[in-house]
Each structure stands twice: as structure tokens, then as C-alpha cells.
Amino acid sequence: MIRIDSLTKRYGTFAAVDDVSFTAFPGRVTGFLGPNGAGKSTTLRALTGLATPTAGRATVLGHRYQDLPNPGLDVGVLLDASALHGGRTGRETLVLSQRTMGLPPIRVDEMLDLVGLTWAEGKRRVRDYSLGMRQRLGIATALMGDPKVLVLDEPANGLDPAGIRWMRDLLRGFADDGGTVLLSSHLLSEIEMIADDIIMIGRGRIVASGATHELLAGVGTLVRSDDGTLLVDALTSAGFQATRRPDGAVATDADLETAGQVAFRAGLPVTELRSADGHGLEDMFLELTAPDQREEAPSRRTSLPNGVAA
């Protein structure tokens, strides 16, 4: 189990991760989804003791990662498949991890087998590996200590479709055996296929989280008003769940009629009211991504439909 608790990481005044909290449960694959630069990697580095959080706390299996006496045996970590010493052979890379963790030498060959690297490939220098081969080698390092938790940053990068399929089956099996998997990706389609739960992050903050099928079903209502914050307050005090989406619209589990009435009673003019469609998550994700392309921002504003000031 992984628990992230009000984690904040600032660089100067810039908050790369801003008050992020979530839990990754055993037996489930948790997808950590967000555009590049959203704070995924920073969160994972803080979780694995490679970065010190400015505030908040991250624990694995109930402990701070730094307090684990031999972390490789509890947590398999792959943060960047390209971060391997190019001058070592793939096999030697594994031998160093095997020795550090104090495992029997046979584990090295078992892991090469498991990730589908041949004996000849193991003898090659990592410098000559494709990104896909490096991912496999990184997975081998992560799995070697037979951990209960896996933390993987963009593990599908560089894998071919067959490789992605292989990775999916591997992580599925790991979770089905009671393991906890936290993997990040900037591709919704990838996460959709493999994750049981999704944590979506944008500009350092969590914007959506929940079980994948619920998030994708997009059940509920989308209601928009000039003041989204007041609308959220009104809906929550009426006993409904309500979240403000990045575009200002509010998603709620109240049905159409009730949502309209709640807004009316709160004195909030409704500018849009409709059932949330199945693409809610994708819309949200695209909206998260768009403002990061700054040169497009002004033209977006002028092209908005009349009267809809966000």
C-alpha cells in the first residue's frame, strides 16, 4: 500500500506538486495520469526518497521509504529506464542490484528470462539497448527482490504493442497476487487499459480520482455557472458529490433536474446543464494539456462561444 498525504514540493515559488493526497491499494493497479510536467515524476521521487518533500508525507507499506532497511525487497522501483550506466552490460546491471539486495546469483538469470532478454542480449552493453530493452531491464531490477509494491514511471515508453501487452499482463498478475502497483503515464489510453484506479494530476494538483470504470462511465451531470466554487458548495451541502473541472464546469452525481434545482435555490444562474458524456475523462485530460501549450492560449480565449466567460 502506498499513501501520499498532503504532499507538496516547491522549487522556489513554483509548486511542482501542490497538496497531493491519494492511496494506492494492494491488489489493484493504480494509474497516475497527467500531462508532461504535471508533477507525476516529482511525486514518485518524493515517494522513493530521491527528493525531499517541502511538506506532507509519503509512505510505503506504512513506512517512509528511507526507513526501509532493504527497500529493494519491499518496493520495486523503476523511475527512468534511460537512467542506466551505458558502459555496463545488462547482466552486470542486474548483478549489482542482486548483490546490493543480498539475493542469490540465480535471480539474475531468472529475471532476464522473466523479462524476455536473451543470454546474448544480457551480455551486451546497455548503451546499445533500445528504450524497450531498457524498460525490460528496469522491470527486471524492480521485480528482482520479489517486492509487494511496484512504483513505475512511464513503464510503457518505448515498448512495442506486444511489449505493452506483456507489461499489462505482468502488472495484472502482480496485482492479482495481492501486490500494489502505482504506475504513471501521460497517455490516457494506456492507463485506461491497465489501471483499476486512476489518479489524474495537472499542474501539481489532483483533478480527478476514482475507480477507472466509474471515471470513464462519466455518470452524472455537468452543470455550469458563473461561479463554479459556489456551485460546488451548494451541491455538496445538498449532499451530492461535486468537483469543479479545469474548464469551470462542475461534475456532480446529482441528476439533471436536482442539479438544476440546487443551483436555482442557491441563486446561481445555470449556463449549461447536461448529462456528462462518456468522454468526460478524456475531455478533462485534454483541457489539462491544452493550457500548457502557451502559444495557443490567446487564440483559445477569442474562439470561445459568446457569453461563456471562464
Partner 1 sequence: MSAPVLDPTVVGPRATTARPRIPMTRLVDVEFRKLVDTRSSRWLLAAVPLLTLVVVTGVTLWGSDEEVTFGMHTTTNMMPMELLLPLVAVLSVAGEWSQRSALTTFALVPRRGRVLSAKAAALLVATLAATATVLALSAIGTVVAAQVRGIGTVWDLPLELALRLALANVVAVAFGFLVGVAIRSTAPAMVAYLAFMFVVPILSSMVAGMWSWWAENGPWIDLSWSTAFVTAPEITGEQWAQVGTSTLIWIVVPLALATRRVLRTEIR
Run of H or E including 11:
strand 2-11
Least distance to partner 1, CB of residue 136, Å? 15
Site for partner 1 contains 71 (CB under 8 A): yes
Q: SS3 for 132-180, per residue?
A: HHHHHHHHHHHHHCCCCEEEEECCCCCCCHHHHHHHHHHHHHHHHCCCE
Q: Which of 37, 49, 56, 291 binds partner 1 (CB under 8 A)?
A: 49
Q: Which of 88, 30, 53, 307 is nearest to 204 (CA)?
A: 53
Least distance to partner 1, CB of residue 292, Å? 20
Residue 209, CB-side half-sphere exposure with 13 Å CA sphere: 14
Site for partner 1 contains 87 (CB under 8 A): yes
Site for partner 1 contains 216 (CB under 8 A): no
DSSP 15: E
Judged by beta carbon, residue 234 or residue 254, the one nearer partner 1 is 254
Q: Which of 55, 84, 193, 290 binds partner 1 (CB under 8 A)?
A: 84
Residues that bind partner 1 (rule: CB under 8 A) add up to a total of 49
Site for partner 1 contains 1 (CB under 8 A): yes
Site for partner 1 contains 37 (CB under 8 A): no
Judged by beta carbon, residue 79 or residue 262, the one nearer partner 1 is 79
Site for partner 1 contains 240 (CB under 8 A): no
Judged by beta carbon, residue 45 or residue 186, the one nearer partner 1 is 45
> Is 227 strand, coil or helix?
coil
Q: Are 76 and 143 in contact (CB under 8 A)?
A: yes
> Nearest 10 degrees: CA dihedral of 134, 71, 204, 296?
0
Q: Which of 6, 36, 99, 241 binds partner 1 (CB under 8 A)?
A: 99
Site for partner 1 contains 104 (CB under 8 A): no
Kindly give, in sequence order, each residue whose CB lies less than 8 Å from that of residue 306, ignoring residues fewer than 6 positions away.
none
Which residue type, as a one-letter code, is found at position 148?
A: K
Least distance to partner 1, CB of residue 202, Å? 20
Least distance to partner 1, CB of residue 46, Å? 9
Greatest CA separation found in the chain?
A: 72
Site for partner 1 contains 225 (CB under 8 A): no
Quote the CA–CA distance of 249 and 266 in Å, as a whole number. Answer: 16
Q: Which spans of this chain sit near partner 1 (rule: CB under 8 A)?
A: 1, 25-26, 28, 45, 48-52, 59, 61-63, 65-74, 77, 79-80, 82-88, 92, 95-97, 99-102, 141, 148, 196-197, 210-211, 214
